Chain A
């Protein structure tokens, strides 16, 4: 106690403050931690910013700057993202996969979350465990297992868009389930009960009260699943068919190991912009739906943390 007092007293007279005193002061500003955090942010984002910068390189190099140009996006007749048919196809296919997979995952996942939350019994408990397992499973295990299913069984599943969408939905299903269930836990049953007390039918209570209150979580999981799907690599690579079903991530991987040009950086930047747009729109919508609620900056939900 006396040491702290002494340190506090010493702090008051700033001219007599020693380095040791400064270090020991429990209430000083956390400059070290701030430094570490800023350094981390730099290390994390600078390489990506440089890659985006080089997508505007006028020359073929991805390491030496040769002037500013948008040729890799639009101008170059054979190799730009717009004109090269394979790059073009990759972007379109990625978007298509994103939309399809999200459109299936979200309803399935939200329904499953609602059902698992209210249904008691051994089967839903097991299903819950399976969902959690699929949340942390290394992706390559699922990708290989589905590849085997597709190649050795005569099923409606085949390599290509169908196989990829099915694989993506399976892998992503746990996200909406986990996010929505956590939100349900926070909401509790009191709003539904109040609605029923006021005369709503049970299914009406669910539809008009519960779902309305779940909209933020549903939005958050939609954005999350979409961003995850368009960046997915392992599953879509194993389940891809011919070149028309290779999404951007596979194109980047194949070309990075062969003969990359800045068109690759341009491709990745296009995808980045799409992701950010979706997140921005989703976040705005989330804020709109949770206005009036305390403690809802909500940005961390957009990375799956609840």
Chain B
């Protein structure tokens, strides 16, 4: 037990408090000089398929000169989702160029952005989605790409040479394409979810209470609520739509107690739940996480036949804070090589937009089992599907508030 001491008298406490009160404003002057500078008032451009954007080239962080090679023995720091890069692919790069690669992971892009913005970390390569591109460019966190290093772009689907979110591919290249649908196990869910009139309704069906999960990403989960109601503008800022999302999300909590996670690729095969919102790549990947003796036949995936579901692609960008931009761009180019891309696809399950990988032949080529052929991402989805776009600040706050309420449990 701690020994007795003289108790703090009220007078000394008040004196101390007064002193602190006087010191605070004077201290504030000192501290302001120590603080980080807030990012200036550059306005936020929001790209959309019908409103393409060509980003300004950064002046503070110019593109690196062509003709360099990665230094042997240097380190490449990658910042990515967990299990989103095949270890053999990483090892292959290390052996090819003598560069040691360190992969750090994040759970969601909000957290990643905060860590990157804090400045102390110096990652070289980052894998965001295009809805953060505006923020990253606006805050001057990216280094423009030097096209001379990225010759393998010719292997990609042609539409990615001039995407609407990054005209002239100044800052980014696509990494994977995916759809967001509903996956289930036939041994835990007796019905064919895809045969329902509105498959999204299943998340509010009390029959499956405690047996389902939604993706722990605010925009993805909230987009699904909108799609359920036939609202195809999943970036809507209408107050009525926001109210609808709020009500229905809380309703979901009451009716079915969903789990909220991004580890469906492990949990569904492990049998922790029978039904979930899932990314197409995860359901392909899930077949490798099934326990011994369990056949992959039980997995099913549904995505709207007309293609009007959520379709997106992830990107690769070079961060300005990194110290090894040469190796970063060599790595991007390495990932775009058809053989490497195929090997990576085999591990992560997410389809790369490679010309050499024919979406209509994924089943025949052995990438997908027949029961998961619906998890293929077809190029036509990119014209018919809906995208998760960046939101203007006020709407972004409103969406986040609703999500916070959902995560607080009601």
Binding site for B on A (CB under 8 A): 59-61, 64, 66, 78, 86, 116-117, 120, 122, 124-126, 128-129, 132, 150-155, 158-160, 178, 181-182, 184-185, 241-244, 254, 257-260, 306
> Are A126 and B8 in touch, CB under 8 angstroms?
yes
> Are A151 and B8 in touch, CB under 8 angstroms?
no
Interface stretch of the complex, out of B261-269, B301-309, B312-320, B349-357: B261-269
Known: A60-B292, A122-B8. A152 touches B36 (CB 8 A): yes
> Are A306 and B291 in touch, CB under 8 angstroms?
no
Indicate which residue in A150, A151, A243, A306 contacts B103 across the interface (CB closer than 8 Å): A243
Interface stretch of the complex, out of B46-54, B75-83, B133-141, B361-369: B75-83
B9 proximity list for chain A (CB < 8 A): 122
From residue B37, how far is it (CB to closest CB) to chain A in Å? Answer: 9
Q: How far is the CA of A159 from the CA of B321 in the complex (A)?
A: 15
From residue B176, how far is it (CB to closest CB) to chain A in Å? Answer: 18
Give the residue name and chain of the A residue nearest to B12 (CB): A122
A128 proximity list for chain B (CB < 8 A): 2, 5
> Are B292 and A124 in touch, CB under 8 angstroms?
no
> Are B7 and A242 in touch, CB under 8 angstroms?
no
> Are B83 and A258 in touch, CB under 8 angstroms?
yes
> Are B104 and A243 in touch, CB under 8 angstroms?
yes
- 27 A-B Cβ contacts within 8 A? A60-B291, A60-B292, A86-B103, A117-B3, A124-B5, A125-B7, A125-B8, A132-B2, A151-B120, A152-B35, A152-B36, A154-B35, A154-B36, A155-B34, A159-B118, A159-B120, A160-B120, A181-B2, A184-B3, A241-B120, A242-B79, A242-B104, A242-B123, A243-B102, A244-B102, A258-B263, A259-B289
Indicate which residue in A59, A66, A125, A242 contacts B5 across the interface (CB closer than 8 Å): A125
With a 10 A CB-CB cut-off, give which of A178, A243, A254, A260 has the most chain B CB atoms. Answer: A243
Binding site for A on B (CB under 8 A): 1-3, 5-9, 12, 16, 31, 34-36, 77, 79, 82-83, 87, 102-105, 114-115, 118, 120-121, 123, 261, 263, 265-266, 289, 291-292
Q: How far is the CA of A52 from the CA of B78 in the complex (A)?
A: 33
B31 proximity list for chain A (CB < 8 A): 153
A154 proximity list for chain B (CB < 8 A): 34-36
> Are A181 and B3 in touch, CB under 8 angstroms?
yes
> Are B121 and A159 in touch, CB under 8 angstroms?
yes
B105 proximity list for chain A (CB < 8 A): 243, 254
B115 proximity list for chain A (CB < 8 A): 159
From residue A153, how far is it (CB to closest CB) to chain B in Å? Answer: 5
B102 proximity list for chain A (CB < 8 A): 242-244
From residue A157, how far is it (CB to closest CB) to chain B in Å? Answer: 9
From residue A90, how far is it (CB to closest CB) to chain B in Å? Answer: 12
Give the residue name and chain of the A residue nearest to B88 (CB): A78
Q: How far is the CA of A244 from the CA of B5 in the complex (A)?
A: 44
B292 proximity list for chain A (CB < 8 A): 59-61, 66
With a 10 A CB-CB cut-off, give which of B2, B7, B31, B77 has the most chain A CB atoms. Answer: B2
Q: How far is the CA of A192 from the CA of B331 in the complex (A)?
A: 68
Give the residue name and chain of the B residue nearest to A185 (CB): B3
Q: How far is the CA of A66 from the CA of B293 in the complex (A)?
A: 13
B87 proximity list for chain A (CB < 8 A): 78
Q: How far is the CA of A125 from the CA of B16 in the complex (A)?
A: 13
Give the residue name and chain of the A residue nearest to B91 (CB): A78
With a 10 A CB-CB cut-off, give which of A64, A117, A152 has the most chain B CB atoms. Answer: A152
B1 proximity list for chain A (CB < 8 A): 182, 306
From residue A300, how far is it (CB to closest CB) to chain B in Å? Answer: 12
Counting from the closest, the 7 A-B pairs by CB-CB distance are: A243-B104, A242-B104, A158-B120, A151-B118, A259-B266, A185-B3, A125-B6
> Are A182 and B2 in touch, CB under 8 angstroms?
yes
Give the residue name and chain of the B residue nearest to A306 (CB): B1
From residue B36, how far is it (CB to closest CB) to chain A in Å? Answer: 6
Additional 7 contacts, C-beta under 8 A, given A159-B120, A181-B3? A122-B6, A125-B6, A125-B8, A132-B2, A151-B120, A155-B34, A306-B1
B36 proximity list for chain A (CB < 8 A): 152-154
A241 proximity list for chain B (CB < 8 A): 120-121
From residue A177, how far is it (CB to closest CB) to chain B in Å? Answer: 9
Give the residue name and chain of the B residue nearest to A120 (CB): B6
Give the residue name and chain of the A residue nearest to B87 (CB): A78
A254 proximity list for chain B (CB < 8 A): 82, 105
A257 proximity list for chain B (CB < 8 A): 261, 263
Give the residue name and chain of the A residue nearest to B291 (CB): A61
Known: A125-B8, A244-B102. A150 touches B120 (CB 8 A): yes
Q: How far is the CA of A31 from the CA of B7 in the complex (A)?
A: 45
With a 10 A CB-CB cut-off, give which of A122, A129, A150 has the most chain B CB atoms. Answer: A122
> Are A129 and B2 in touch, CB under 8 angstroms?
no
With a 10 A CB-CB cut-off, give which of A60, A159, A181, A258 has the most chain B CB atoms. Answer: A258
From residue B104, how far is it (CB to closest CB) to chain A in Å? Answer: 4
Q: How far is the CA of A122 from the CA of B19 in the complex (A)?
A: 15
Q: How far is the CA of A20 from the CA of B77 in the complex (A)?
A: 73
B5 proximity list for chain A (CB < 8 A): 116, 124-125, 128
A59 proximity list for chain B (CB < 8 A): 292
A64 proximity list for chain B (CB < 8 A): 291
Give the residue name and chain of the A residue nearest to B123 (CB): A242
B8 proximity list for chain A (CB < 8 A): 122, 125-126, 129
> Are B12 and A126 in touch, CB under 8 angstroms?
yes
Give the residue name and chain of the B residue nearest to A128 (CB): B5
A260 proximity list for chain B (CB < 8 A): 266
Q: How far is the CA of A36 from the CA of B265 in the complex (A)?
A: 42
Known: A153-B34, A243-B105, A258-B266. A178 touches B123 (CB 8 A): no
Known: A122-B12, A154-B36, A243-B105. A258 touches B82 (CB 8 A): yes
> Are A178 and B2 in touch, CB under 8 angstroms?
yes
Q: How far is the CA of A77 from the CA of B289 in the complex (A)?
A: 18
B266 proximity list for chain A (CB < 8 A): 258-260
Known: A152-B36, A153-B31. A126 touches B16 (CB 8 A): yes
A132 proximity list for chain B (CB < 8 A): 2
Q: How far is the CA of A150 from the CA of B120 in the complex (A)?
A: 9
B263 proximity list for chain A (CB < 8 A): 257-259
Q: How far is the CA of A159 from the CA of B12 in the complex (A)?
A: 36
Q: How far is the CA of A163 from the CA of B341 in the complex (A)?
A: 38
Q: How far is the CA of A153 from the CA of B2 in the complex (A)?
A: 35
